[in-house]
Chains A and B, each alone.
Chain A
Amino acid sequence: MEQVVIAFLCLAILLYFLLGGADFGAGIIELFTSTKNRSRTRKTMYHAIGPVWEANHMWLIIAIVILFVAFPRIYTTMSVHLHIPLAIMLIGIIARGTAFVFRHYDAVKDDMQWLYNRIFRYSSFLTALFLGILAGSVLSGKIDPVATNFADAYIFGWLNWFSISVGLFTTALCGFLAAIYLIGECKTEEDKKRFIKKAEYMNVAAVVFGAMVFFSAAMEDVPLMNWVVYNTVGLTAVVLASFSLVLLWYLLLKGSTKILRVLAGFQVTMILVAISYAHFPNFIRLKGGNVISLYETVAPEKTVQSLGWALVLGSFLILPFLGYLFYKFQQKEE
Chain B
Amino acid sequence: MDDFLAARSQMALSLGFHIIYACIGMVMPFFMAVSHYKWLTTNNEVYKHITKAWSKGVAIFFATGAVSGTMLSFELGLLWPKFMEHAGPIFGMPFSLEGTAFFIEAIALGFFLYGWDKLNKWFHWFTGVVVGVSGLASGILVVAANAWMNSPAGFDYINGEYTNIDPIKAMFNDAWFTQALHMCLAAFTATGFAVAGVHALMLLKKQHNDFHYKSFKIAATFATICALLQPISGDISAKDVAQRQPAKLAAMESLYKTEKPAPLLIGGIVNEENKTVKNYIEIPGALSFLAHGDFNAEVKGLDQIPEDEHPPVAITHYAFQIMVGLGTVMMMISLIYFFILWRRKTILNTKWLLKLFVFAIPLGYIALEAGWVVTEVGRQPWIINGIMRTIDAVTPMPGIAWSFYLFSAIYFSLSLIVIFLLYRQIKMVPVLYKSSNIDQ
**B85 and A76 within 8 A (CB):** yes
Interface residues on B, range: 35 or more
Q: Knowing A69-B92, A93-B67, say if A58 contacts B166 (CB, 8 Å).
A: no
A97/B67 in contact, CB under 8 A:
yes
Determine if B100 and A317 form an interchain contact, defined as CB atoms under 8 angstroms apart.
yes
Within 8 A of A (CB), among B294-330: none
CB neighbors of A among B56-91 (8 A): 56, 59-60, 62-64, 66-71, 73-74, 76-78, 81-82, 84-86, 88-90
Contact between chains at B89 and A72 (CB < 8 Å): yes
Q: Show 8 A/B contacts (Cβ-Cβ < 8 Å), sorted by A.
A: A54-B109, A60-B70, A68-B95, A87-B403, A105-B56, A299-B89, A303-B89, A303-B93
User: Which of A54, A76, A80 contacts B62 (CB under 8 A)?
Assistant: A54
Docked CA distance A34–B263 (Å): 72
Residue among B67, B89, B93, B428 having the largest count of chain A Cβ atoms under 10 Å = B89
- Name which of B64, B109, B417 has the most chain A CB atoms within 10 A of its CB: B417
Residues of chain A within 8 A (CB-CB) of B395 are 79-80, 83
Q: How far is the CA of A299 from the CA of B85 in the complex (A)?
A: 10
Chain B residues with CB below 8 A from A97, complex form: 63, 66-67
Task: Flag if B403 contacts A65 (CB, 8 Å).
Answer: no
B428 and A107 form a contact (CB under 8 A):
yes
Q: Please tell me if the beta carbons of B421 and A106 are within 8 angstroms of each other in the complex.
A: yes
- Asked if A52 contacts B92 (CB within 8 A), the reply is no
> Are A314's CB and B100's CB within 8 A?
yes
Contacts known (A58-B106, A321-B104); A83 close to B99, Cβ less than 8 A = no
B76, B110, B410, B425: which has the most chain A beta carbons within 10 Å?
B110
Within 8 Å of chain B (Cβ to Cβ): is A101? yes
CB-CB under 8 A from B398, the residues of chain A are 150
Chain A positions 151 through 191: 1 when the CB is less than 8 Å from some CB of chain B, otherwise 0: 00110000000000000000000000000000000000000
A69-B89, A105-B421 known; A302-B107 Cβ under 8 A: no
With contact pairs A54-B62, A101-B60, A329-B114 given, residues A62 and B103 touching in the complex (Cβ less than 8 Å)? yes
Within 8 A of B (CB), among A269-310: 299-300, 302-303, 306-307, 310
Would you call B103 and A52 a contact (CB within 8 A)? Answer: no
Tell whether, in the assembled complex, residue B74 and residue A90 are in contact, meaning their CB atoms are under 8 Å apart.
yes
Q: Nearest Cβ in chain A — how far from B86, in angstroms?
A: 7
Residue A218 at the chain B interface, CB threshold 8 Å: no
Question: A-B pairs with the 9 shortest C-beta distances?
Answer: A69-B92, A79-B77, A314-B100, A299-B89, A101-B63, A107-B428, A72-B88, A76-B81, A54-B106
Contact with B along A89-101 (1 / 0, CB 8 A): 0110111011011
B428 touches A79 (CB 8 A): no
Tell whether B336 is near chain A: CB-to-CB under 8 Å.
no
Complexed CA–CA distance, A150 and B64 (Å)? 33
Closest-CB distance, B85 to chain A (whole angstroms): 5
* Residues of chain A contacted by B74 (CB below 8 angstroms): 64, 79, 86, 90
Instruction: Beyond the given A54-B63, A72-B84, please list 9 additional residue pairs across the A-B interface where CB-CB is below 8 A.
Output: A54-B110, A58-B99, A69-B93, A70-B89, A86-B74, A101-B60, A108-B424, A299-B92, A314-B97
Return the chain B residue nearest A332 by Cβ.
Answer: B118
Given A57-B70, A66-B96, A79-B74, decide whether A303 and B428 contact each other with a Cβ distance below 8 A. no
Q: Does B102 belong to the interface (CB within 8 Å)?
A: yes
Q: Chain A: how many interface residues by the 8 Å CB criterion?
A: 62
Contact of B110 with A55 in the complex, beta carbons under 8 Å: yes
Residue ID in chain A nearest B87 by CB atoms: A72
Judged by a CB distance under 8 angstroms, whether B340 is at the interface is no
B-chain residues with CB within 8 Å of residue A303 when the two chains form the complex: 89-90, 92-93, 165, 167
Q: What residues on A are CB-neighbors of B68 within 8 Å?
A: 94
* Chain B residue contacts of A313, Cβ below 8 A: 100
Q: Is the CB of A87 within 8 A of B84?
A: no
* Interface presence of A322 (CB below 8 A): yes
A310 to B137, CA, bound (A): 14
Q: A79-B395, A325-B107, A328-B119 are in contact. Are A65 and B73 (CB under 8 A)?
A: yes
Asked if A302 meets B167 with Cβ closer than 8 Å, knowing A65-B99, A70-B89, A72-B85, the reply is yes
Contacts of B111 in A (CB 8 A): 51, 325, 328
B401 to chain A, nearest CB (A): 13
Q: Which residues of A contact B64 (CB under 8 A)?
A: 98, 101
Assuming the contacts A300-B165, A306-B93, asked whether A80 and B114 have C-beta atoms less than 8 A apart, the reply is no
B49 CB, nearest partner CB in chain A, Å: 13
B432 at the A/B interface (Cβ < 8 Å)? yes
Q: Is A75 an interface residue (CB 8 A)?
A: yes
Asked whether, in the complex, the Cβ of B167 is within 8 Å of the Cβ of A79, the reply is no
Query: Do B70 and A93 touch (CB < 8 A)?
Result: yes
B427 in the interface (beta carbon within 8 A): yes
User: With A and B bound together, what is the CA distance between A57 and B63 in angstroms?
Assistant: 11
Contacts of B417 in A (CB 8 A): 98, 102
A61 at the interface (CB under 8 A from B): yes
Interface hub of B165, B427, B428 (most chain A Cβ within 10 A): B165
Closest A residue to B411 using CB positions:
A94
The answer to the question of A210 belonging to the interface, with a C-beta cut-off of 8 Å to chain B, is: no
Query: Which of B166, B167, B424, B425 has the most chain A CB within a 10 Å cutoff?
Result: B167
Complex formed: what's the CA distance from A68 to B78 in Å?
Answer: 12
Whether B110 lies near A325 (C-beta < 8 A) is yes
Q: How far is the CB of B346 from chain A (nearest CB, A)?
A: 29
- B281 an interface residue at 8 Å Cβ cutoff? no
Contact A310 B84 (CB under 8 A): no
**Are B106 and A55 in contact (CB-based, < 8 A)?**
yes
CB distance from B174 to the nearest CB of A (A): 19
The one of B56, B88, B108, B110 that contacts A69, using a Cβ cutoff of 8 Å: B88
User: Is B397 among interface residues, defined by CB-CB distance under 8 A?
Assistant: yes
